[in-house]
Amino acid sequence: MLGYLPLGVGVLMFTLLCLVWKKKVINNPYLFLMASFSFLLSLIISPNLDYAVEDYGYYEGAVKVISDPEIDGEQLKFIGQMERQKVYFYSNEPNVNPHHGSSCIVKSYIQTPNAATNPGQFNYQQYLANQGILYVSFDTEILKCQGRSFLSHFFEWRYVIQQNIINQISEQSYAWINALLFGQREGLPNDIIKSFQYWGLSHLLAISGLHVGIFLGLCYVVLSKWTRLTIEQSKWLILVIIPIYIIIAGAQPPVLRAGLMAIFVIVLSFMKQSKLDVTDILSIVFMVLLIVDPYLMYQLSFQFSFAVTFALILSRKLLKNGSWLMISLKVSLISQLVILPLQFYYFYFTNVLSFAMNLIYVPYFSILVLPFLLSITLSVFIFPDKVVAFLDYAFIMIHEKMMKVILLIGEPSFAQWVVGQPNLVIMVVYGILFLWFMYSWEAGYLKRAGVISILMVGLWYIQLGSHYIDKSLKITVLDVGQAESIVIELPNRSGIYVVDVGEEIRFNSGHEHKNFNDIIKPYLWSKGISRIDGIIISHYDTDHAGSLKQIINHFQPKLIISHPFQSLELSKLVTIQEGMQISHGDVQMKFLSPNFDDENHDENNRSLVFILKYDDFDMLFTGDITNEIEERIAQKYRLDLDVLKVAHHGSNTSTSETLLKETNPHMAIISVGDQNRYGHPDPEVLERLTNEGIRILRTDEDGSISIKYVDGHSTLKRFNP
């Protein structure tokens, strides 16, 4: 695993581990040789994560299908091998149905996946690169296919089984069977998925080692107790069942881990190995899986699955004694502690009550849901329709009530602990403290373990506290497409303001509040921000205020600042007009427009306009005002700007020559959507800016744009280099 780290870091970590366990290394040279071999092997197999920098272009030729093709609505998708490159293909109207292993002739445009353009945003390009996929192709035309692999018959068998089940039971029950037995959760309600994610229960919605263990346990009981097979014969039959089940269940990392571990245990039992070291078995499975597919290391399910399993195995002495409740509490606590750095790294937050919800819902799924769903599935092929209908009805009656409970609880903000994305040092120190904590707990040094646990929690508060000793002013113009949202972080985090929370105007459903959910909220969380001091709404067009209610509900601003012509009834609403000012220490936000004469203007010219002043730094925020308001401000106020936020996304109705000459900005930032239908920014605006010698930055080209000002110096960072 250390070979996946940068070479210098990997060598340093390997050396430190050898020094920590130097006595064992000296007394057992074979252990050192094995560890060295594993480290060198990880260096060899760890893949280079390459990114395609430009589109491949139009392609017509052969493609080898290397995944099980899936149908999502009317769209077919599969991974194909093309000229030594993996490509994710999408076909809206497939004339041919390919199989795993088919050789197909396709006609398509091969392009690079969409990359993140903001900090904290999900990076689809990196997600695919972590699977070795560099390109995607939409609207692929499949001309012909031939051949198929041996595995494709198992995938087809799975499809037949699924069709038989869905024809005899309700959609509600089938959605859960499809998720928990076949690894496809597309049919589950979105509110359930969202609630399970919030409470840290997502692992229950996918096939995990627990599911595999229950399935294999039931198989063993049925074969050894209810048939005439001997124990050895039952084991041999289970060895045949395991790989078939792995394929049918989608071959996800937790399924592979649990299935291969079961195979190793059974094979070793045939070899009369009475003393089995489960840690060694897990390590072998870990290495085998990475040798077969080195990209597995980058999958979250792989990381979470092995981290939790290793931690529980190493803690088995702690889990030997005690009541069922105490053992369950220990399992939940250890599992949450070991994955905490990963949760913060990938999701920026954790739920402090997650262990309690796991304590309730893990047994519920293990004891009731999974056996119930297995019974329904088997009954479809064994028992009459009336029995199937009864089991189906009983499951829905019980399960819907349990789901209503978690939905009724909702998503209370007090349970959410937002820390932000931790740096590597914090994560390494936490890992050392965690190992020390577990050692102390197991050795019975409970006072020491208690002190260490306080240090572990305190470490994340150090992460949060680091922002409060940062003296810089930070302004980040997010790339939200043809909309606008800007985050202002005052020195020492004395205040956090968000200027506008715009949404692009969309005509297709299913993308409501996309900017907020995919960009604005993740950005704030990645910076450890869970509350804000104020939201400044320049005006109420959708592209500036489309997610106002969402940011109020999630970040509970102390102030909602608006122009005086709004008609909303909101608590904490403060209306602002020309001449008013908000001060935070040495930072002032002085509002220059609108005045009461602007009431008859359209919404764009009602925009709040303010200048942010700190030390020698001045930045003008302009909303969507036109030349008329710009020239009034320029003539009334003698401004000397460092940065101009260009009005109305670079429309030709704004950014007048008068404004530029009177304010003399060094830099202009345009928030604009890539290839937008309005033609923004207008060429005339760009020409005016260029003629005045003003540096132009655009979110459609540069991604998010961050300015950091401290001690009289400002630095600029573009997300897209």
Cβ atoms < 10 Å from Cβ of 636: 12
The model's confidence at residue 470, banded by pLDDT at 50, 70 and 90, is: very high
C-alpha torsion angle, residues 683, 686, 692, 697 (rounded to 10): -170
What's the whole-number mean pLDDT along residues 127-144? 90
What's the pLDDT at 550?
94
Specify the range with the lowest mean pLDDT, choosing from 20-29, 206-215, 424-433, 610-619: 20-29
What's the pLDDT at 543?
94
Name 395's Cβ contacts closer than 8 Å, sequence gap at least 6: 173, 176, 372, 373, 376
The model's confidence at residue 580, banded by pLDDT at 50, 70 and 90, is: very high
Give the model confidence (pLDDT) of 272-314 as tens digits.
655 657 777 787 888 888 888 888 888 888 888 888 888 888 8
Rounded mean pLDDT of the chain?
A: 87
What's the pLDDT at 63?
94
- Give dist(CA 528, CA 489) in Å, integer: 12
- Give dist(CA 150, CA 622) in Å, integer: 63
Whole-number percent of the chain with pLDDT over 90: 49
Give domain limits for the chain.
Answer: 2-45, 57-149, 156-314+348-418, 471-718
CB 707 within 8 A of CB 474: yes
CB 257 within 8 A of CB 246: no
What's the pLDDT at 549?
93
- Give dist(CA 405, CA 559) in Å, integer: 34
Class of domain 57-149: mainly beta
The helix/strand/coil state of 601 is coil
Q: In terms of Cα–Cα distance, which of 531, 535, 502 is closest to 516?
A: 502
* Residue carrying the six token digits 């060899």: 44
CB 476 within 8 A of CB 486: yes
What's the pLDDT at 139?
86
CB 656 within 8 A of CB 625: no
Give the model confidence (pLDDT) of 527-548 as tens digits.
999 999 999 999 999 999 999 9
What's the pLDDT at 56?
85
The helix/strand/coil state of 130 is coil
For 571, the token pair is 């608590």
Are 57-149 and 471-718 the same fold in CATH?
no
Specify the range with the lowest mean pLDDT, choosing from 38-42, 72-76, 229-233: 38-42
* Residue carrying the six token digits 């197991």: 442
CB 616 within 8 A of CB 608: no
- Give dist(CA 491, CA 495) in Å, integer: 8
Give the model confidence (pLDDT) of 644-693 as tens digits.
999 999 999 999 999 999 999 999 999 999 989 999 999 999 999 999 99
What's the pLDDT at 719?
95
CB 467 within 8 A of CB 423: no
Give the model confidence (pLDDT) of 148-207 as tens digits.
998 888 888 888 888 889 889 999 999 999 888 888 888 888 889 889 888 888 888 877
Give the model confidence (pLDDT) of 546-578 as tens digits.
999 999 999 999 999 999 887 777 888 999 999
The model's confidence at residue 31, banded by pLDDT at 50, 70 and 90, is: low
Residues in the chain: 721
Q: What is the CATH number of domain 471-718?
A: 3.60.15.10
Q: What is the pTM of this model?
A: 0.89
Res. 3: pLDDT tops 60: no
What's the pLDDT at 366?
85
Q: E strands, 70-132, where?
A: 70-72, 75-82, 85-91, 103-111
